[in-house]
Structure 1
Amino acid sequence: MFALSKVLRRSQSLRLGACNAVYYSKLEIPLREKNGATESNSLIHDRYEAFPTFFELSWSSFTGRRALSSDAGVKSAGEEDDLENLETPNETSGDSEDGLQSEEELSGDDGDIEGAEMELLHPEAGKKAASKRSSELFKDILAVSGLSVASALDKWVEEGKEINRTEIANAMLQLRRRRMYGRALQMAEWLEENKPFELEERDYASRLDLIAKIRGLHKGEVYIERIPESFRGELVYRTLLSNYAATSNVRKAEAVFNKMKGLGFPRTSYACDQMLMLYKRVDKKKIADVLLLMENENLKPSLYTYKILIDAKGSSNDISGMEQIVEAMKSEGVELDLRAQSIIARHYASAGLKEKAEKVLQEMEGENLEANRHVCKILLSIYGSLQRADEVTRIWRICEENPFYEESLAAILAFGKINKVKEAEAVFEKSVKMGHRVSSSIYSVLLRVYVDHKMVSEGKDLVKRMLDSGCNIGALTWDALIKLYVEAGEVEKADSTLRKATESKQIKPLMSSFMYVMDEYARKGDVHNSEKIFQKMRQAGYQSRFRQFQSLVQAYVNAKTPAYGMKDRMKADNVFPNTRLAAQLAKADPFKKTPLSDLLD
């Protein structure tokens, strides 16, 4: 553990971490008051709350999304090139797009943490899931309207079927895996009202997690007060922590993290991993602080911890630092699993280190790919990023005869990356004809290919076909459609589409959907419409942070219009500029000095 934090402290990208924190904590001076507002790779720069000592930590805040405890940030327009940058809806009043995961979720550490949490919340389901058996109760729930989960459960009881913990847990897990959080919450509410068996803390924690997803964290806080005190244990607060961390509400996350200590709950690797995930998105310089805290608490890094650190280094383009983390991991006897390998390979590919990326991919593939079919979807994705058309074609031939659904999704994107749109369309048609689990996600990935290749008419035809097929349009599809119009130069149409998505009661548009439109208005110097999108994002529940202000200020700069009160607006939202944004603000400063003003002075 000492070696691990040492690697981070001497790293260029994380150099302001634990060493300074120890010094300032002894003086009981908040870290940020000494260090000032520093930059962190163009992430969010919020002022930190003051806390008395380092061991109570002090974190900043940022807004993001959640899929139990996962995340991918929103990048600027032009950087979001494929599905691995798309987000999953955070809060919906219904069910999310069936089965669609981003490439990052398919190979990243977030899914591991989610799996660990689900194993605790629904351990019986985990045992039964190993046999790949489907839940009969889950099938009955799907057979009724989404608003009638209680009626399905009542009918189950009327027919004399037993509702035991194992059956409930397995059905709950299947609903969660398909992002059907609305139905899962209805089931949790029915259980608490009817109590077919004695409830445990994990039942309350599961309902808390679903409330946070569907109705928001404020409602989750209210619900905690209703949980019997005897069941208000570490798992409940840990669930609340993971939700705050995943939505990047650092102020709340740190409060829960510290409250858990105050309530006498032991520090755990899981709780620290949540904070590491948060810092990975918000301020990588603070990761070393959490690691030092783990050292002092004698907490051994988990496999998840290492993967978070590997990803943090890789996303900072610190490849040598990433490799040092891998070596530290191996020295502790922790083996790389498939997810860790895929994270490493992706970062090698992003850094242009093709030989290193391909070496990792070859290790993942093993000697018999047909026996290792589970890695095909990852190989397709990364080989696509590497522009290895031969490898994409070779791997797809292995899957082609009887492809799994996720392999089809990955293949469509991979063929799109290597500019083989016809092959991507062929995979789509094959998947549709097979008829298994065809949902909006298969349309979304092909639509993304059309967007990347600026095939506007094909994209519009695909959306019409999707509607005719009866598929619901989810957040990912809206996002791709909005980007399609922006790429086609039809920003007004994109704005209109965004309005329709915002008015839909079934989904919450992704932050990227707003940013596509806002960035285009900003590029044109359209201050009025940029401000309009800025306010719509607030109304949709997205806090105004660095990224939004960056685009808004650029609109004023391009319009050559002074941005009155912009600094005060940013300060009110606890957003503080980095060097680049400060330069933008100077250009839009209504009181800036000019040659004429100097003469008048």
Structure 2
Amino acid sequence: MAAGTFLAILNSNKKTNALTANVILARTKSYCFTPNTVKSNNLYSRINAVGDPRCGVDPVLQQWVQEGRHVNELQLQRIIRDLRARRRYSHALEVCKWMSNSDLEFSSSDCAVQLDLIGRVHGLMSAKSFFSSMTDQEKTVKTYGALLNCYVREGLLDESLSLMKKMREMGFLSSPLNYNDLMCLYTNTGQLEKVPDVLLEMKRNGVSPDKFSYRICINSYGARADINSMEKVIQEMKSHRHIKMDWVTYSTVANHYIKAGLKEKALYYVKKCEKNVGKDAVGYNHLISFYASLGNKDEMKRLWDLQKAKCRKQINRDYITMLGSLVKLGELEETEKLLEEWEFSCKTFDFRVPNILLIGYCQKGLIGKAEAKLQDIIKRKKTATPNSWSIIAAGYLNKNNMEKAFECFKEALAVQAQNRDWRPKASLISSILSWLGENGEVEDAEAFVKLLIAKVPPKSEMYHALLKAYIRNGKEVEGLLECMKDYKIDVDEETMKILSLRQQNS
């Protein structure tokens, strides 16, 4: 690629990105859901068919009514609840808004759900504005609680405490839910020592803690390795008849005992966890992971067989857990066999599953074997994700084989459309850029940066690599310096140090 052509690409990048966004938007409007294409007699099935979050579900609801079909509050509430559980917040909010604008009854609980969804989709300011627009009758304990949840989600301690104080004055702190929110906030902000104080305050105010209250407190003590206090909270929790001890609580306790290196205590609670797990596949995943941490392969395999017998089917998540546990114990041959079993039975090919084996190979230094496995999957007409190629690139980097790391990372950038949420590791980018600047050809450096800026914003280290490559090959750098200026990347000490190399090379 000629230097002038490359600089033109960099200079036009902002306009190109804006144009691309407009093209995507235009295409979205054309391929978004067309109501007539879905013939299901189930409203949720029709809404669920709108998989793209950029596409609206309003037309689905409108068509449903136009067909003379009945819709009621309970039906929409169930749909909203399911969409929220699946993190389809924008679609859940649309259904909520449609419901509020219809002739259906819209309760304070529905209003609280809408407030929470606005906070998730549009941010805190929009949620606060919506709350301010409510009538006094709509501002109930539930809507105040939803606003508090928005503050907690944003990690705003002062605002949360202020709102809690107001809720206390209004007599709105009669359930453990809001106290639990505050304990979660202290946990998320690293103030674990304050969590038990909230539990004490809750009890002083005549509010009975629920299992979530105790679980958060158990976790706060466990995270601080205060095992004695954690055990006391467990015993207090057990003493309450209204609280049923579940596998999740036992799992939380077992995890902290494992981290503390108390194997016997850990095993006791792992067994308690198993007695309560029932047919919950997630619970079996926890148990398998615990035994992997304890180094017990036989128990892992026993629980895997038990999970197969008791749970209806094994999904990709379950295989990821078992494969990861085998890799943790260094059992690569068994990992290979289990991956073959998954490949034979899976209905949806998910690259996160074979990625576990690729990681295992790389951890053992078998980078060539990892790349060969990935190439074998690709030959079977599977398009690799950037994550897969990135794993191989990192493996070669650890072996100091920069040429191969560079080639594999280029492959990752080339297929990034397969995972738009993928974010390459900064350390991997830095290492490759540094190597290109010191050793790479100008064309290679330019091609790599061109791919890179399609994924991450331009940074000084990209231009530093290009500057080094240009100077080593006797090319003019004024155009690059202008690009840095356009992107408001300052000429710093490192830049000046690189530019001083021109005199040495002249």
TM-score by length of 1: 0.53
Tell me what 2:314 maps to.
Answer: 404
Deviation at 1:383, TM superposition (A): 1.0
Matches within 5 A, 1:545-560: none
Give the 5 Å matches for 1:345-494: 345-366=254-275, 375-400=283-308, 403-405=313-315, 406-436=317-347, 442=353, 458=370
The residue type equivalent to 1:380 in the other structure is: I
Instruction: Note closer, same or farther for the CA distance 1:358–1:520 as it changes in structure 2 (3 Å cut).
Output: farther
Q: How does 1:249-268 map to 2 (within 5 A)?
A: 249-268=156-175
Amino acid at match of 2:158: R
Question: 2:10 corresponds to which residue?
Answer: none
Q: Which residue of 2 aligns with 1:4?
A: none
How far is 1:358 from its partner? 1.7
1:186 and 2:97 aligned: no
Residue equivalent to 2:65 = 157
Report the counterpart of residue 502 of structure 2 in structure 1: none
Equivalent residues in 2 for 1:508-519, closer than 5 Å: none
Note if 1:209 corresponds to 2:119: no
Q: Distance in 2 between matches of 1:223 and 1:356?
A: 49
Residue 227 of structure 1 deviates from its aligned partner by: 3.5
Count of residue pairs brought into register by the alignment: 385
**Shift in CA distance, 135/485, structure 1 to aligned 2, threshold 3 Å:** farther
- Given that 1:416 and 1:449 are in contact with CA atoms closer than 8 Å, whether structure 2 keeps it comes out as yes
How many angstroms does 1:470 deviate by? 7.5
Q: For the pair shown, which has the larger CA radius of gyration, 1 or 2?
A: 2
Instruction: Tell me if structure 2 keeps the 8 A contact 1:478–1:498.
Output: yes
For each residue in 1:148-199, what CA deviation from the matched residue of structure 2 results, as whole angstroms up to 9, or x when unmatched?
Answer: 3122222322333322222222222322222222322332233334x25121
* Partner residue in 2 for 1:277: 184
Cα deviation, 1:487-523, whole Å, max 9, x if unaligned, reads 67779999999999999996496xxx778679999xx
Structure 1 residue 139, shift from structure 2 partner: 2.1
1:369-392 per-residue CA deviation (whole Å, 9 max, x = no partner) reads 886766322211211121211111
CA pair 275-492 structure 1, distance change in 2 beyond 3 A: farther
Q: CA contact under 8 A between 1:370 and 1:398: conserved in structure 2?
A: no
Q: Residues of 1 paired with 2:124 and 2:415: CA distance?
A: 22
* Cα gap change, 1:230 to 1:376, in 2 (>3 Å): same
Indicate the residue corresponding to 1:140 in structure 2: 46
Higher helix share: 2
State whether structure 2 residue 220 is matched by structure 1 residue 312: yes
Letter paired with 2:204: N
Question: Is the aligned partner of 1:168 residue 2:79?
Answer: no
Q: Which amino acid aligns with 1:362?
A: K
Instruction: Provide structure 2 residue ranges, at least 5 long, that are not aligned to the other structure.
Output: 1-39, 436-455, 458-506
Answer whether contact 2:385 2:418 (CA < 8 A) is retained: no
Secondary structure of the residue aligned to 1:366 is helix
User: Which deviates more from structure 2 when the two are superposed, residues 141-150 or residues 319-328?
Assistant: 141-150
Distance in 1 separating the partners of 2:146 and 2:84: 15
Give the Cα separation in 2 of the matches to 1:153 and 1:268: 35
3-state SS of the aligned residue for 2:137? helix
- Code of the residue aligned with 2:49 in structure 1: it is A
Q: Cα gap change, 1:493/1:170 in structure 2, threshold over 3 Å: closer, same or farther?
A: farther
Deviations 1:416-451 (A, max 9, x none): 222224434544454454345665664676666567
Which sits farther off after the overlay, 387-396 or 153-162?
A: 153-162
% identical equivalent positions: 23
- Aligned-residue offset at 1:274: 1.1
1:265 to 1:483, Cα distance in 2 relative to 1, 3 A: farther
2-structure distance, mates of 1:171, 1:208: 17
TM-score, normalised to structure 2's length?
Answer: 0.62
Displacement after TM superposition at 1:266 (Å): 3.0
Q: 1:295 to 1:174 in 2, by over 3 A?
A: closer
Report the CA distance shift for 1:256/1:517 in structure 2 as closer, same or farther (over 3 A): farther
- For the pair 1:296 / 2:204, whether they are aligned, the reply is yes
Give the equivalent residue in structure 1 for 2:470. Answer: none
Cα offsets for 1:79-123 (capped at 9, x unmatched): xxxxxxxxxxxxxxxxxxxxxxxxxxxxxxxxxxxxxxxxxxxxx
Which SS does the other structure have where 1:336 is aligned?
Answer: coil
Alpha-carbon distance between aligned partners in 2 of 1:482 and 1:234, rounded to the nearest angstrom: 53
Once the two structures are superposed, residues 327-367 of structure 1 have per-residue CA deviations (whole angstroms, 9 ceiling, x without a partner) of 22223444421111001111111122222222222233239
Cα deviation, 1:196-253, whole Å, max 9, x if unaligned, reads 5121122222222222223322222222233444222221221222233234222332
Q: Write the distance in 1 (CA, Å) between the matches of 2:214 and 2:103.
A: 41
Shift of 1:415: 1.7
Measured in 2, the distance between the counterparts of 1:467 and 1:241 equals: 51
CA RMSD of aligned residues (A): 4.5
Describe the superposition over 1:36-68 as per-residue Cα deviations: whole angstroms up to 9, x where unpaired.
xxxxxxxxxxxxxxxxxxxxxxxxxxxxxxxxx
Whole-Å separation in 2 of the counterparts to 1:430 and 1:518: 35
Alpha-carbon distance in structure 1 between the residues aligned to 2:415 and 2:143 = 33
- Aligned AA for 1:273? N
Deviates more, 1:348-357 or 1:262-271: 262-271
Cα distance in 1 for residues equivalent to 2:409 and 2:161 = 37
Cα distance in 1 between the residues matched to 2:363 and 2:79? 38
Distance 1:380 1:265 in 2: 42
The residue type equivalent to 2:273 in the other structure is: M
CA distance in 1, matches of 2:293, 2:252: 13
8 Å CA contact 1:310–1:322 kept in 2: the answer is yes
* CA drift at 1:311: 1.1
User: Mean alpha-carbon deviation: is it higher for 161-170 or for 453-462?
Assistant: 453-462
- Paired residues of 1:149 and 1:186 also in contact (CA < 8 A): yes
- Whether contact under 8 Å (1:208, 1:223) holds in the other structure is yes
Preserved CA contact (<8 Å) 2:58 2:98: yes
Equivalent residue number for residue 553 of structure 1: none
> Which residue pairs with 1:219 in the alignment?
126
- d(CA) in 2 for partners of 1:437, 1:248: 37
Distance 1:359 1:259 in 2: 44
Q: Would the alpha carbon gap of residues 403 and 423 (structure 1) be closer, same or farther in structure 2, given more than 3 Å must change?
A: farther
Q: Distance in 1 between matches of 2:123 and 2:417?
A: 18
Unmatched segments (≥5 aa) in structure 1:
1-133, 525-538, 541-601
Amino acid across the alignment from 2:314: F
User: Bigger relative contact order, structure 1 or 2, given CA contacts below 8 A and separation 6+?
Assistant: 1
Give distance in 2, aligned partners of 1:185 and 1:469: 35
Q: Is the 8 A contact 1:483 1:516 kept in 2?
A: no
Q: Secondary structure at the match of 2:104?
A: coil
- 1:237 is aligned to 144
